[in-house]
Amino acid sequence: MGFEVCPDCAVGQGSHRTHAGRQGHPPVTGLSSLNELDFNSLKEIYGCSCPSDDCGIVVFAFLSCRFNTARFPERHLIERLVVKLLQNYINGRFAKGEREFADINPADGSVIARVTEAGQTMVDEAVAAARRALEGEWSRLTVPARAALLYKIACGIEARFDEFLQAEIADTGKPVSLASRIDVPRGAANFRTFADIIKTVGGESFRTETQDGVTALNYTQRKPLGVVGVITPWNLPLLLLTWKVAPALACGNCIIAKPSEETPATATLLAEVMESSGVPAGVFNVVHGFGPDSAGEFLTTHPDVDAVTFTGESRTGATIMRAAAASVKPVSFELGGKNAAIVFADCDFDDTIKGLSDAVFLNTGQVCLCAERVYVERSIFDRIIAALKREAENLRLGWPTHPGTTTGPLISSDHRAKVLSYYQLAREEGAMTITGGGTPEFGDGRDNGFYVQPTILTGLPESARCVKEEIFGPVCHIAPFDTEEEAIAKANDTEYGLAASVWTSNLKRGHRVAANLRVGITWVNCWFLRDLRTPFGGAGLSGIGREGGMHSLNFYSELNNICVRL
Ligand code: NAD
Ligand code: 6OD
């Protein structure tokens, strides 16, 4: 029997289905404070037979009707009772760690879940389980069988599309329109793509003939790296996790994933999908926690972890590199960016504005590929500023679940403080703020969230910190240029080197400019248009190595060359 939806508050859908339920709520009268509530009797009234960690759902259904929970002064008490506990996934079982921390919804600052943090012992257990799995049935699985499992995982994500969607939206605050178009579909697509690739990839072979008449056949065999630590950030949690997990599994590795402490939910759901897809115990593990002195550090310093693949800030990459150096672990790093967009006067104006608006503001500017520096040919500089200002002011900052919302909050209160400090710094450095520069006011629960205004700056010298440092918010600085050479020089004047976009109707120029940019990817008349077979990564502070297609397989496997004398 499913839990039926309360006609008053609509609570009771989706994950509440495990509760036996009744239509609506029995009237409860004379109740003025939480202390008067007997939660167990309430559970009984609602026919809830679930284990205690989840039972609060029923209570929450009641309280949602009874009180306006967003304003309820004892809301934190409710939240402690009703929120889910996200657990680590070790050796095919969900396990509680030593401490707990809160998972916050950035749209209104509410607690979505409690997360149980993996300590050193639990990370040791995960590594040991992964090592055992590496030597067990997993190592005997044929490539077609591994590929079949990856397809099954992709289907498993799709079968629970709405749960992944809701979890990702609640954790990140990103709009449903975005997460349903990009994040969750890419979660499944990553597995399908690497299943396709691993099934069809061949090896190298050479027939060798020496001067003294010996003949041999050389051919390569692809072997897993072993136990791989996968550490990912909060901006595209499922997309970036599966982007690494899929090829690592395709190559036969065992994995310990450490999602960002800000966005632990979809990694936990992925563990459920792995379990139901029949991935053997120990092959995929999830440890929750932070970086320093927590699961992240325990994983990267672990002597029995064979490789680390990481996406996140450049500074964190440097710390992880030092940690990995002690046991000479291979690393693959996708790091920060301070990406340029170069707009020529001959561009298709409307397409460019649409593309630029995405490049600057998508995901509230929290995509490593976002353009924070926009260089515009002087003759159209004022027009571009005016049009981009209109785009920025038309963005709809809203509740993430609302279909019309284009722009959600930033990920956290700390990150908002950082972005706002750059808005302030820009003014101190002499910038003119074309639009934005502060925080919006809503007059509802979103005022407790972490929203900032989409912002356009101009007038800064190229040496300004706001032009040099990654801000990672919905903000760009626009500057004019007079010649192609000047635009290229300015775009390249950065320690980063992740991505760029070039906007021009002259494709010859598009090719030429792209060839001269020191980045891992250049888009011409588009942005974030992905083909998962292509190399992805950055130069300079933006990373080490490339992933995508064969590049991922080359990182996640060791080649063994076999030479047979004929
Ligand atoms: P972050 O570096 O703070 O954290 C990323 C992950 O590393 C988290 O899981 C965190 O817990 C972990 N971590 C932090 N310190 C650690 C340590 N000492 N040892 C081990 N693990 C540690 O990054 P973030 O704030 O989550 O993400 C935003 C950053 O990520 C931005 O700089 C952005 O540009 C970058 N990013 C880059 C790409 C890319 O593909 N190049 C993609 C997405 C995000
Ligand atoms: O699309 C991808 O594969 C990818 N790695 C995107 C990274 C986006 C950064 O925020």
Give residue-wise pLDDT tens across range 131-180.
Answer: 999 999 999 999 999 999 999 999 999 999 999 999 999 999 999 999 99
Question: Which of 68, 86, 104 represents a domain boundary (last residue)?
Answer: 86
Distance from Cα 42 to the centre of ligand 1, integer Å: 43
Segment 285-290 shows an average pLDDT of 98
Q: Look at residues 261, 253, 556, 259 and name the one whose alpha carbon lies nearest to residue 412.
A: 261
Task: Verify whether residue 55 is a known catalytic residue.
Answer: no
Q: DSSP readout, 431-449?
A: -EEEE--S----SSGGGGS
How many domains in the chain?
3
Q: Of the listed 6, 251, 347, 368, which one is catalytic?
A: 368
Structural domain contains residue 103: no
- For residues 22 and 148, membership in a common domain is answered with no
Residue 366 domain boundaries: 339-531
Distance from Cα 311 to the centre of ligand 1, integer Å: 5
Atom 16 in ligand 1: residue holding the nearest Cα: 291
- For residues 297 and 349, membership in a common domain is answered with no
Q: Provide the pLDDT for residue 84.
A: 85
Q: How much of the chain is helix, strand and coil, in % rounded to 5? A: 45, 20, 35
Specify burial of residue 468 (Cβ count, 10 A radius: 0-12, 13-18, 19+): middle
- For residues 324 and 208, membership in a common domain is answered with yes
Structural domain contains residue 57: yes
For residue range 305-314, list pLDDT tens digits in order.
999 999 999 9
- For residues 362 and 479, membership in a common domain is answered with yes
pLDDT band at 98 (very low <50, low <70, confident <90, very high): confident
Kindly report the backbone phi and psi dihedral angles of residue 372, in degrees, each rounded to the nearest multiple of 5, phi listed first: -100, -10
Atom 6 in ligand 2: residue holding the nearest Cα: 240
Mean pLDDT across the chain = 90
Atom 12 in ligand 1: residue holding the nearest Cα: 291
pTM for this predicted structure: 0.88
pLDDT band at 21 (very low <50, low <70, confident <90, very high): very low
Distance from Cα 454 to the centre of ligand 1, integer Å: 23
The continuous run of DSSP H or E covering 286 comes out as: strand 284-286
- For residues 435 and 514, membership in a common domain is answered with yes
Tell me: pLDDT of 71 over 90.
no
Q: Of the listed 334, 377, 470, 547, which one is catalytic?
A: 334
The continuous run of DSSP H or E covering 507 comes out as: helix 507-515
Q: Look at residues 405, 350, 342, 406 and name the one whose alpha carbon lies nearest to residue 383.
A: 350
The two beta strands, 475-481 and 455-458, are: parallel
User: What's 257's domain CATH number?
Assistant: 3.40.605.10
Structural domain contains residue 106: no
Structural domain contains residue 557: yes
Residue partners of 558: CB distance under 8 A and separation at least 6: 222, 223, 224, 225
- For residues 321 and 371, membership in a common domain is answered with no
Question: Which of 62, 86, 110 represents a domain boundary (last residue)?
Answer: 86
Residue partners of 52: CB distance under 8 A and separation at least 6: none
For residue range 405-451, list pLDDT tens digits in order.
999 999 999 999 999 999 999 999 999 999 999 999 999 999 999 99
Distance from Cα 311 to the centre of ligand 2, integer Å: 9
Q: Which atom of ligand 1 is nearest to the CA of 542?
A: 41
- For residues 315 and 343, membership in a common domain is answered with no
* DSSP state at residue 304: T
Query: DSSP E strands: which ranges in 328-447?
Result: 331-334, 339-343, 371-377, 432-435
- For residues 297 and 365, membership in a common domain is answered with no
- For residues 362 and 446, membership in a common domain is answered with yes
Q: Give ∠ CA 109-230-547 in degrees, rounded to 5.
A: 110
Task: Check if 536 has its Cβ closer than 6 Å to any atom of ligand 2.
Answer: yes
d(CA 557, CA 313): 25
Percent of the chain with pLDDT over 90: 85
Tell me: pLDDT of 303 over 50.
yes
User: What's 461's domain CATH number?
Assistant: 3.40.309.10
Give the amino acid at 419.
V
Distance from Cα 532 to the centre of ligand 2, integer Å: 10
The two beta strands, 205-209 and 215-224, are: antiparallel
Structural domain contains residue 107: no
- Residues contacting ligand 1 via CB (< 6 Å): 231-235, 240, 258, 260-261, 290-292, 296-297, 300, 311-313, 316, 319-320, 334-337, 368, 470, 472, 498, 538, 542-543
Tell me: pLDDT of 245 over 80.
yes
Cα atoms found within 13 Å of the Cα of residue 151, Cβ hemisphere only: 11
Task: Check if 243 has its Cβ closer than 6 Å to any atom of ligand 2.
Answer: yes
Q: How far is CA 419 from CA 208, 375, 450, 533, in A?
A: 59, 21, 11, 34
Q: Which atom of ligand 2 is nearest to the CA of 530?
A: 1
Q: Provide the pLDDT for residue 82.
A: 59
Structural domain contains residue 97: no
Whether the CB-CB separation of 497 and 538 falls below 8 Å is answered with yes
- For residues 246 and 325, membership in a common domain is answered with yes
Structural domain contains residue 370: yes
Place of tokens 């561009």: 347
- For residues 293 and 394, membership in a common domain is answered with no
- For residues 164 and 251, membership in a common domain is answered with yes
Task: Verify whether residue 334 is a known catalytic residue.
Answer: yes
